[in-house]
Chains A and B, each alone.
Chain A
Amino acid sequence: MTGRFWGGLMVVVLVALLVAACGGGSAAPAQEATSACPEPNPRVEVTSTELNLFVWTEYIPQATIDCFEEVYGITVNKDEYSSNEEMYAKLSAGGANYDLVQPTDYIVALMIRQGLLQELDKSRLPIFAQLDPNYLSLPFDPDNKYTLPYQAGTDAIVVNTDAVETAPQSFADLWNPDYAGRLVMLDDSRAIIGMTLLTLGYDVNTTDPAQLEEAKVKLAELVKGVKLFDSDSPKTALIAGDVDLGITWTGEAVVAQREVPAIEYIYPTEGPILWQDNYAIPTGAPHIDAAYAWLNYSLQGDNFWRMLDEFPYTNPNLAALEFAKANHPDLYDAYINSNITNTPADVLKRGHRIQDVGAATPLYDQVWTEVKGG
């Protein structure tokens, strides 16, 4: 994040200088250079002139947004969130007028129950045929009535093999005293308590207070040796060498490995935590036609391949992979040959999915508060 920040600052300064130099008058020459945008296929009928996205921070390539604006003449307004809970709180408070959101699996079921999402009209989504069936019809939305997959990934172990002699092979190994003071963990109560439950042989979504109590006692031991909880950018501390190992998610691990090749991603023997981010249209979305146009256009292969480069997660979009294979073989090879992005099938089979635990939610919160606050 910090590295990106300084880079971002430089970009801002450069853009400011450029704008100052142009006198703000003539941006036209720059526009022509970007006219290499793929044609929409198919082009859909749109009367709206705006599209309101409510999406994860750093999750959509700017080029895709620029192209959509150019091709359809629609202004894209983008608000960002950094946790599902933040997004849910804003939507359930009412009054928001977003056309698309990107909820993760566990919160989808809750949003459907609360009537926050509307059913998709599949006849308006030819893009659906290009999605990998392995990522469709998952338990949180059995027939994909409300959502379609955007990107998927895992939470698993990350370790700098230059600094750590014996790498952990399971979540349970993280309790090794040698690792104390060198660990980074996601600041995500469900993932970390869930991981602890797995080491005890329990379900990640248990609502049994006795099992949670047991997990609490065990987790409290680990927390003493955790140097950093970070759900924003755990890779920063890994790359900087502040920590040597821990738990992080797909995209962070890929970027960390690009910077420090000794960083490896290890799927624990208990099985990793699986997750999937999805697109959905909120109830009361004001520009539904633009939302469908965006879904079809931004997900088509010749646009979505950019994700392999900019936001490397597990990509459920077959057309994008094919396009990359034909046109950007280096990116495609990197994707297919990485065990981080191309999760092995047996790992997927033993993976676990977080679900909303309803009435037990405060129980998980209490466990988290106690292990950190006690």
Chain B
Amino acid sequence: MIQSFRENRRLQGFLLILPTLLVMLVMLVLPLTLTVITSFGQRDADGNVIYTFTLENYWRLLGFTETGWDDLYLGILMRSLWLAVQTTVIVILMAYPLAYFIARAPEKRRNFLLFLVLIPLWTNFIIRIYAWVMILRGQGVLNSALGGVAGLLSIPFTPFDFYPSQGAVLVGMVYEFLPFMILPIYTSLEKIEPNLYEAAADLYANAFHTFWRVTVPLSMPGVVAGTILTFVPVIGTFVVSDILGGRQVILVGNLVQRQFLDARNPPFGSAASIILLLMTLALTLYYTRRFGLGEEIAAG
């Protein structure tokens, strides 16, 4: 019996992944199934879920109401999507040069530089966002510094309204997700064989050509991985927007949260989160088909 177990590779493999499978089942498949079922339900007057089968929640989200077309919820989805796109693009533009710099640094210094990238993550995320409030507010660090400089040059100075604003939200988002882009890009840049650069030079490629035809294509897996690690969480995030944006706008994350709390309308909230899920899935699939699968996800 023990002998046959030793030879049964499939059984061994199955037993090894069993804990993960169970976690996935309990923490992912079951809740998701419940969400799907709830999304076809209705709320009673007190906010309890009545389990029926109606597509009403989905129609309302997509804009088809009794009184006609209403793009309220699609607008909120688009706003969240746009914020995610902006964040991701800025993060790529900032992370790539930094990752490049680290990957090209002397080997001894690389770990130290990576360490610097990671240090902010030691502090709780909410605390770091509140720190941005301190920096950006009317009487905050940034305005005081600018005011001091203006005073030295005897220029009249009125404090800027950095906070709360949508600009502050973007700053907070970029700040928060930058490390998650730097690391995967660094990993793919670091793996590029130096021989390839020599080969490119031997073939008379100049620095730009080498970068564009060798470095960029070989680092794409890192960019793709970083994009997924940034874009997907950003769509659903609303904490940064709430704190730095003064809760002036509603993002899709706020929408879902409000349905489960203030509105006491779990079916509508479930439908909203399913739509968000499907949209994210579709975009991610399209993106990975277009640019290849992010091999660095595991590494990053």
Q: Which of B131-139, B195-203, B221-229 contacts A (4 or more CB under 8 A)?
A: B131-139
A187 interface contact, C-beta 8 A: yes
Contact pick for B264, options A85, A229, A242, CB 8 Å: A85
Contact pick for B137, options A113, A229, A242, A373, CB 8 Å: A242
A298 to B247, CA, bound (A): 36
Known: A365-B265, A369-B76. A230 touches B246 (CB 8 A): yes
| Chain A residues with CB under 8 A of B48 | 92, 114
Q: Is the CB of A361 within 8 A of B72?
A: no
Q: Is the CB of A358 within 8 A of B248?
A: no
Q: Is the CB of B261 within 8 A of A373?
A: no
A362 to B248, CA, bound (A): 20
| Chain B residues with CB under 8 A of A373 | 72, 75-76, 79, 249-250, 255
Chain A residues numbered 292-311 whose CB sits less than 8 Å from any CB in chain B: none
| Chain A residues with CB under 8 A of B72 | 366, 369-370, 373-374
A2 interface contact, C-beta 8 A: yes
A241 interface contact, C-beta 8 A: yes
| Chain B residues with CB under 8 A of A370 | 72
Between A and B, 6 residue pairs with Cβ closer than 8 Å are A5-B130, A227-B246, A365-B262, A369-B73, A372-B250, A373-B255
Contact pick for A110, options B46, B79, B161, B262, CB 8 Å: B46
Contact pick for B46, options A113, A187, A229, A366, CB 8 Å: A113
Q: Please, what's the 1-or-0 string for A135-175, where 1 marks a CB less than 8 Å from any CB in chain B? A: 00000000000000000000000000000000000000000
Give the shortest distance, in Å, between A88 (CB) and chain B (any CB). 8
| Chain B residues with CB under 8 A of A113 | 46
Q: Please, what's the 1-or-0 string for B251-282, where 1 marks a CB less than 8 Å from any CB in chain A? A: 00001001111111100100000000000000
A226 interface contact, C-beta 8 A: yes
Contact pick for A361, options B164, B246, B265, CB 8 Å: B265
| Chain B residues with CB under 8 A of A278 | none
For the residues of A in contact with B, the DSSP-based class is helix
Give the shortest distance, in Å, between B89 (CB) and chain A (any CB). 24
Known: A228-B164, A369-B255. A359 touches B45 (CB 8 A): yes
A85 to B248, CA, bound (A): 20
B40 interface contact, C-beta 8 A: no
Q: Is the CB of A89 within 8 A of B43?
A: no
List 8 A-B pairs, minimum CB-CB distance, nearest first: A365-B263, A229-B247, A85-B261, A228-B246, A358-B45, A359-B45, A373-B250, A372-B250
Q: Please, what's the 1-or-0 string for A336-374, where 1 marks a CB less than 8 Å from any CB in chain B? A: 000000000000000000001011011011101110111
| Chain B residues with CB under 8 A of A366 | 72
B300 interface contact, C-beta 8 A: no
A222 to B44, CA, bound (A): 32
A206 interface contact, C-beta 8 A: no
| Chain B residues with CB under 8 A of A45 | none
A208 to B16, CA, bound (A): 60
| Chain B residues with CB under 8 A of A364 | 263
| Chain B residues with CB under 8 A of A228 | 164, 246-248
Q: Please, what's the 1-or-0 string for B131-159, where 1 marks a CB less than 8 Å from any CB in chain A? A: 00110011100000000000000000000
Q: Is the CB of B250 within 8 A of A369?
A: yes
Chain B residue with Cβ nearest A373: B250
| Chain A residues with CB under 8 A of B134 | 2
| Chain A residues with CB under 8 A of B246 | 226-230
Q: Is the CB of B47 within 8 A of A361?
A: yes
B177 interface contact, C-beta 8 A: no
Contact pick for A362, options B43, B76, B130, CB 8 Å: B43
A327 interface contact, C-beta 8 A: no
Q: Is the CB of A2 within 8 A of B76?
A: no
| Chain A residues with CB under 8 A of B139 | 240-242
Give the shortest distance, in Å, between B25 (CB) and chain A (any CB). 20
B96 interface contact, C-beta 8 A: no
A181 to B164, CA, bound (A): 10
| Chain A residues with CB under 8 A of B46 | 110, 113-114, 356, 358
| Chain A residues with CB under 8 A of B260 | 89
Q: Is the CB of B133 within 8 A of A2?
A: yes
Q: Is the CB of A362 within 8 A of B75?
A: no
Give the shortest distance, in Å, between A96 (CB) and chain B (any CB). 16
Chain A residue with Cβ nearest B130: A2
Give the shortest distance, in Å, between B130 (CB) and chain A (any CB). 6
Q: Is the CB of A372 within 8 A of B130?
A: no
Q: Is the CB of B258 within 8 A of A369?
A: yes
Given pairs A114-B46, A372-B250, 12 additional interface contacts (CB within 8 A): A2-B133, A2-B134, A88-B264, A89-B260, A113-B46, A356-B46, A359-B44, A359-B45, A361-B264, A362-B263, A365-B262, A365-B263
Q: Is the CB of A374 within 8 A of B263?
A: no
Q: Please, what's the 1-or-0 string for A308-346, where 1 marks a CB less than 8 Å from any CB in chain B? A: 000000000000000000000000000000000000000
Chain A residue with Cβ nearest B47: A361
Chain A residues numbered 212-247 whose CB sits less than 8 Å from any CB in chain B: 223, 226-230, 237, 240-242
Chain A residue with Cβ nearest B249: A372
A189 interface contact, C-beta 8 A: yes
A228 to B260, CA, bound (A): 23
A269 interface contact, C-beta 8 A: no
Q: Is the CB of B265 within 8 A of A362?
A: yes
Give the shortest distance, in Å, between B263 (CB) and chain A (any CB). 4
Known: A227-B164, A362-B43. A242 touches B258 (CB 8 A): no
Q: Is the CB of B261 within 8 A of A86?
A: yes
A358 to B263, CA, bound (A): 10
Known: A230-B246, A241-B138. A189 touches B262 (CB 8 A): yes
B180 interface contact, C-beta 8 A: no
